[in-house]
Amino acid sequence: MNRTRPKQIVIRVSEEELAQIKEKVEQSGKSQQQYIIEALTQSNIVNLDGLKEIYPELKRQGNNLNQIAKKLNENGYVDYKQELPNTMKEVREVWQLLKQYLQKQA
């Protein structure tokens, strides 16, 4: 028994996942235990929960762009002086939200 590491973590993997893990362990030149410990403790964790707030807004903007495209196709033109500034304002707002979120993750 390894007295410096008395705790165990048991996980289940598919045959395919096991083969991938074994290949990576072999490529690393490390023991399986050391490779897995390093992979889990030295990697950065990125929480994407904040992006859930941005998704509906992006979807709404996509719908707006589709409506503009539809108007162009139907009429051969669109009142871009009215439509484009509103759309661009919304895109900038989402971009700012995304930048703020990504800065918090860094």
Do 50 and 90 form a contact (C-beta atoms < 8 A)?
Answer: no
Q: Is 78's pLDDT higher than 70? A: no
Q: Is 17's pLDDT higher than 90? A: yes
Residue 43 token pair:
């990697």
Tell which wins on pLDDT, 80 or 70. Answer: 70
Domain ranges of the chain: 1-43, 51-105
Q: What is the pLDDT of residues 36-73, one digit of tens each?
A: 999 989 877 767 777 777 778 888 888 888 887 787 77
Q: Is the sign of the CA dihedral 54, 58, 64, 67 positive or negative?
A: negative
What was the pLDDT predicted at 66? 80
